[in-house]
Structure 1
Amino acid sequence: MRNSRLATSPTVPAAPAVPWLRLLTPSAAQHSLVPASSGAQYARVVGEVGTDAAQWAVEVGLEVAERVAAEIPGHIAEGGLDVLRMGTESTTIQLLLLLSGAEVEGPATSEALGGIPDFVRRRVSLDELLRGIQLGHSVIAGAFLAECARLGDPEQRHEQMRTLSQRMFAFFDAFSTQMASSYREEEARWVKSDAASRLAVVEDLLRGHDQPLAVVSRRLRYDLARSHVALVVWSSARTLDADQTALYEAARDLVRHSGAEQSLVLAVNLGMVWAWATPRSTPEEFVDRLASMTLPADTHAVIGGTGRGLAGFRASHDDALAAFGLRSSSTSTASVTPYRDLDLISLLLADRDRAIRFARAELGPLAATDPAAADLRRTVAAYLDLGGSPQAAAQRLSVSRNTVTYRVRRAEELLGRPLSERRQHLQAALAIVAETESLG
C-alpha cells in the first residue's frame, strides 16, 4: 500500500482535526501503563503529540480490549488479552496520528492484522469479528468525543465535534473494510490447508467422537493405536514477534530431539501448539529426556502422562492441558514441566474455590499472608517432605537447625496441634497455598 494520509480513504482532510490533542492526559492510575503496541509506533506518536497524549491512547486501548473481551468472549483465546490489546491500542494510536495530521500507511496496523490468522484458526466468524470491531470503535469514538467536550474551545466545539466525527467515521469504515478483506483471504488459505484438516480431525477425536483408527491414522499420518505422550507448547512473549511459525518450529524440534518414533505437531491458536509423540524408549526415560531440554526464550512446554490407543491419546492431552492451566498462570520459569510434577496439585485444585477454603480451614492462622507466616509454611512443608528431619530441612532452606526447630514449634502453636496429626491434610493444604500464591 502506498504511503498516504489514509490510503483507503483519500478524501479525509490532511489538516489536524482538532487543536487540543497535546492536552490529552491519562488517568493517574494508568500514567505508567506499559504500551503493548510496537515501540516504533509509540515513539512516533510521542513525537507528534507528546508522551501524555500517547499514554492516553494506551489507556484507551486497554479499556477497549477489556470491554471487547468481556462482551464478546470469542475475541480472546486463553491468556490472549495482551494480543487483543496490541490491536486495540495500535488502532487508537493510529487514529491519534491521523488526527494530528501525520501520514499513515492505512487504518489497520500490523498488530491489528496480525490477529486475523488466530481468529480464523479458532473459527471466530467474520460477523463476530466485525461485532468486536464495532464495539471497539464505539469505545474509541466515545473517548475522543468526551475529550473534545472537555478540552475544546466552547466557541468552536460544535465544528470540532463535526470534523472529528467525520474523520473517525471515515477511519473506522476503512478499518473495517481492510480487516474483513484480510479475514476472507486468510480464511480461504486456512480452509485449503492441510493443517486445518488435521486439526479438525484431532479436535473431533478429543470431543469424544470415535472413528476407525486406521482411517484417522492415515489422515493424521500418525498411528493412534500406539502409545502417546502429549505436549502443550506456548509462548509467554507479549508481542506478535513471537510468531506462530517460530513456536511451531520450537515444538517440532523439541519432539524431534527427544528421539520419538513418530510425532504429530499442530498449531492451535496464536501462541500455542499441541503435540503428541510415541516414545522410542521407556515412557519414563522419554519424559526425562523431554524435561531436560531447553526451549527458546519466552517458550514453555508441559508434558502429559503416557497412554495407549485413542483413550491414551485423549488422556495424555487432558493431563497436558491441566498442567498448562497451572504453569501458564504461575511465576515459574521452568522451560519444560512434566505433568507428574503437577498431578497432585492439579487434582487438589480441580475445584479451586473449595480447595482454598479447605486450605484456610486446615491451616488457620498459618494461612496468613504476611512474610512470617509464609516462612513458617515453607519450613513446615520442607520438614514434612523430609521425614521430620530438622537438619535436612535446614539444609534445604539454607537456615540453621535451631531456626527450623523454632519455626516448627511456632507452627504447632498456631495450628493448635502436633504436625503429625492430620499430616496428609496439612501437606495438601500447604501445597494448595504454595501453588495459589505462585498463581497470584
Structure 2
Amino acid sequence: MADRITAAVPELAVDAVATEVRRGCEAVALGALAALAHDTDVTFAAMPEVLAGPVEVVARGIGIEHMLRSIHVAHATATEVLLDAAARVIPATHRFAEMRWINGLLFGVVEVVNARMSHEYTRAHEAWLTSSMALRMKTIEDILVGTEVSIGRATQVLGYDLSRWHLAAIAWTDGRAPADPTHVQRTASGVLAAAGCVSTLVLPVGAHSVWAWGSRTAHAPTPSAASEVAPTPNVWVATGMPGVGVDGFRRSHRQAGDAARISSTSTRQGWLLPYDDVDLVAMLSVDVPAAGEFVTRELGALAGSSAGVAVMRRTLKCYLDRDRSLVRTADHLHVARNTVAYRVRRAEQLRGHPATHRRLQLHAALTLVEELGDAVLPREG
C-alpha cells in the first residue's frame, strides 16, 4: 500500500515522510482488519502512527492535496485486495452481502481517517506558520533549490555565517523506538563538533529528523573524526563532504541526503554514514530499479540469493578490491589461496564471463550488492 502511495504521489516519497506513510499504512491496515474481524469501530484513526504523517507533511511544505490523494490511493488499494480475497474465499451465496459490508466499512474508515488527518494537518500548519522556524526553513529551502538569496540577510535570519567552510549532517530516528527529539539534535551537533566545526545550525524537520550544518573558517571540517563520537541509541546520522560558501552548504546537504537514502536499504550496521563511504553507490543507485537491472545484467547467475552464491560474490569483490591478488585476498578472508582461486573461478562460471570482462561494470555491480543487498538483487520466482 505504501509503495503504491509513494508511486502515485511522489511528493510523499521523501525520507521521513515516506517512513510515516509506511507506518500510517501499517496502522490503518491492521485497524481495518481488526474492524473486519471483530465488527468494531475505527477509532484506530486516532493512533499516533496515523496522525504523525500530517506533521511531517507540513514540515516539508507539502500541500494537503497530496496527503488527501494518498488516502484515496490507500482506499483503492485496500478495496482491491479485500474484494479479491472475498471473491476467492467467500461462498457465492454470501459473497455479495459480504462485499457490500466490506465496502461500507472501508468507506467508514476513509471518512474517519480523512477527517482526523485533515484536522491534524490544519493544526500543525497553523502552528508552523506562527513560528520563527517557518522563516528559517523558507530561507534554507531557497538556498537548497538554488534561489538567489542575500547572503547578509540569510546569515541574519539563520544566525549562521554562510561564507565559511561547511559540513552538513542529517540525523534521524525511525520513530519505532523511543528517542527524545533533543537527543537527535544533540547527536547531530556532536558529530559536527567532532569534525572540527565551531558554529552549528540545527533545524528540526518533522518529528523524527533534523538537518544540521557546522562551519569553520580556516580549514575544512574533518568528517572522519566524527566516528569517535559515542552513538546515541536509535539515532542515525549521515554526513556530506566539506564545501565552501553557499554552494558548499548546498552540496554538502545534498550529499548527506544521498547518504541517508542509502542507509535506508544499506546492509551495514553502523549508526554513522559518511557520504564518501557510499559516493559511488549513491550515484549508481539514484534509480534503484535501474541499478537492480544493471546488477542482474552484469552478474547473471552470480546475482543468485543462495548463501553459496553470496560467498562466491563476496570473494570476487574482495579479489577485485585487492587488484586480483590471490595472496592478499586469502589473507583478508582468512582462507587458503587455493580456496580463493576456486571461488573466483566458480564466480566467473556463474557470471558467464571472466573477471577481466567489463571489469569496471563488474566491480560496480558487486559494490552495489555489497551495500544494498536484496534491494538490487533479483527476486526469486
Q: TM-score range by the shorter chain?
A: 0.7 to 0.9
Please say if residues 91 and 108 of structure 1, whose CA atoms lie closer than 8 Å, have aligned partners that are also in contact: no
Cα deviation code 1:364-399 (max 9, x no counterpart)? 665565544443343333234334443332221121
Q: Report the structure number with the largest CA radius of gyration.
A: 1
Q: Taking structure 1 as reference, are residues 388 and 217 closer, same or farther at Cα in structure 2, changes over 3 Å only? A: same
Once the two structures are TM-superposed, the CA of residue 190 in structure 1 deviates from its matched residue by 0.6
The 5 A counterparts of 1:161-200 are: 165=104, 173-200=111-138
Q: TM-score, normalised by structure 1?
A: 0.68
**Residue 197 of structure 2 is aligned to residue 260 of structure 1:** yes
Once the two structures are TM-superposed, the CA of residue 159 in structure 1 deviates from its matched residue by 12
Which of 244, 253, 262 does residue 317 from structure 1 map onto? Answer: 253
Higher helix share: 2
Cα deviation code 1:216-240 (max 9, x no counterpart)? 1111111110001112223345x38
- Residue 57 of structure 1 corresponds to which residue in structure 2? none
Distance, in Å, in 2 between the alignment partners of 1:263 and 1:400 is 50
Cα deviation code 1:181-217 (max 9, x no counterpart)? 2221111101122222212111111111121212111
Once the two structures are TM-superposed, the CA of residue 83 in structure 1 deviates from its matched residue by 2.7
Q: Give percent identity, aligned residues only.
A: 30
DSSP 3-state at the match of 1:295: coil
Distance, in Å, in 2 between the alignment partners of 1:146 and 1:427 is 44
Please say if residues 294 and 336 of structure 1, whose CA atoms lie closer than 8 Å, have aligned partners that are also in contact: no
Q: Taking structure 1 as reference, are residues 103 and 406 closer, same or farther at Cα in structure 2, changes over 3 Å only? A: closer
Cα deviation code 1:127-159 (max 9, x no counterpart)? 43334335545666788889999869979x879
The 5 A counterparts of 1:367-406 are: 371-406=307-342
Cα deviation code 1:307-338 (max 9, x no counterpart)? 10111111212222222232222221111122
- Residue 223 of structure 1 corresponds to which residue in structure 2? 161
Please say if residues 94 and 109 of structure 1, whose CA atoms lie closer than 8 Å, have aligned partners that are also in contact: no
Which of 66, 86, 89 does residue 23 from structure 2 map onto? Answer: 86
Please say if residues 231 and 320 of structure 1, whose CA atoms lie closer than 8 Å, have aligned partners that are also in contact: yes
**Residue 63 of structure 2 is aligned to residue 129 of structure 1:** no
Amino acid at match of 1:328: S
Please say if residues 331 and 439 of structure 1, whose CA atoms lie closer than 8 Å, have aligned partners that are also in contact: no
Please say if residues 330 and 438 of structure 1, whose CA atoms lie closer than 8 Å, have aligned partners that are also in contact: no
Which of 237, 251, 255 does residue 188 from structure 2 map onto? Answer: 251
- Residue 265 of structure 2 corresponds to which residue in structure 1? 329
Once the two structures are TM-superposed, the CA of residue 427 in structure 1 deviates from its matched residue by 3.6
Give structure 1 stretches of 5+ with no counterpart: 1-62
Distance, in Å, in 2 between the alignment partners of 1:158 and 1:415 is 57
Which of 186, 202, 225 does residue 140 from structure 2 map onto? Answer: 202
Which of 149, 170, 189 does residue 232 from structure 1 map onto? Answer: 170
**Residue 47 of structure 2 is aligned to residue 109 of structure 1:** yes
**Residue 343 of structure 2 is aligned to residue 407 of structure 1:** yes
Distance, in Å, in 2 between the alignment partners of 1:370 and 1:129 is 40
Distance, in Å, in 2 between the alignment partners of 1:232 and 1:73 is 21
Distance, in Å, in 1 between the alignment partners of 2:3 and 2:109 is 22
- Residue 28 of structure 1 corresponds to which residue in structure 2? none
Q: Taking structure 1 as reference, are residues 367 and 330 closer, same or farther at Cα in structure 2, changes over 3 Å only? A: same
Amino acid at match of 1:247: V
Amino acid at match of 1:306: P
Give structure 2 stretches of 5+ with no counterpart: 377-381
Distance, in Å, in 2 between the alignment partners of 1:247 and 1:368 is 38
Once the two structures are TM-superposed, the CA of residue 294 in structure 1 deviates from its matched residue by 3.9
Once the two structures are TM-superposed, the CA of residue 160 in structure 1 deviates from its matched residue by 11
Please say if residues 79 and 103 of structure 2, whose CA atoms lie closer than 8 Å, have aligned partners that are also in contact: no
DSSP 3-state at the match of 1:342: helix
Please say if residues 248 and 267 of structure 1, whose CA atoms lie closer than 8 Å, have aligned partners that are also in contact: yes
RMSD: 4.3
Once the two structures are TM-superposed, the CA of residue 287 in structure 1 deviates from its matched residue by 1.1
- Residue 45 of structure 1 corresponds to which residue in structure 2? none
Please say if residues 294 and 335 of structure 1, whose CA atoms lie closer than 8 Å, have aligned partners that are also in contact: no
- Residue 379 of structure 2 corresponds to which residue in structure 1? none
Amino acid at match of 1:179: M
Distance, in Å, in 2 between the alignment partners of 1:303 and 1:206 is 16
Please say if residues 255 and 277 of structure 1, whose CA atoms lie closer than 8 Å, have aligned partners that are also in contact: yes
Distance, in Å, in 1 between the alignment partners of 2:338 and 2:187 is 47
Distance, in Å, in 2 between the alignment partners of 1:85 and 1:176 is 17
Q: Taking structure 1 as reference, are residues 335 and 92 closer, same or farther at Cα in structure 2, changes over 3 Å only? A: closer
Once the two structures are TM-superposed, the CA of residue 363 in structure 1 deviates from its matched residue by 5.6
Once the two structures are TM-superposed, the CA of residue 249 in structure 1 deviates from its matched residue by 4.1
The 5 A counterparts of 1:145-164 are: none
Amino acid at match of 2:272: V
Distance, in Å, in 2 between the alignment partners of 1:88 and 1:424 is 41
Amino acid at match of 1:400: A
Cα deviation code 1:72-125 (max 9, x no counterpart)? 444553375553243344345556767857688685332222222112112233
Q: Taking structure 1 as reference, are residues 373 and 191 closer, same or farther at Cα in structure 2, changes over 3 Å only? A: same
Once the two structures are TM-superposed, the CA of residue 339 in structure 1 deviates from its matched residue by 1.6
Amino acid at match of 1:326: I
Amino acid at match of 2:139: V
Please say if residues 237 and 272 of structure 2, whose CA atoms lie closer than 8 Å, have aligned partners that are also in contact: yes
Which of 298, 320, 335 does residue 234 from structure 2 map onto? Answer: 298
- Residue 281 of structure 2 corresponds to which residue in structure 1? 345
Cα deviation code 1:41-85 (max 9, x no counterpart)? xxxxxxxxxxxxxxxxxxxxxx4x455444344455337555324
- Residue 288 of structure 1 corresponds to which residue in structure 2? 224
Amino acid at match of 1:295: P
Q: Taking structure 1 as reference, are residues 310 and 79 closer, same or farther at Cα in structure 2, changes over 3 Å only? A: closer
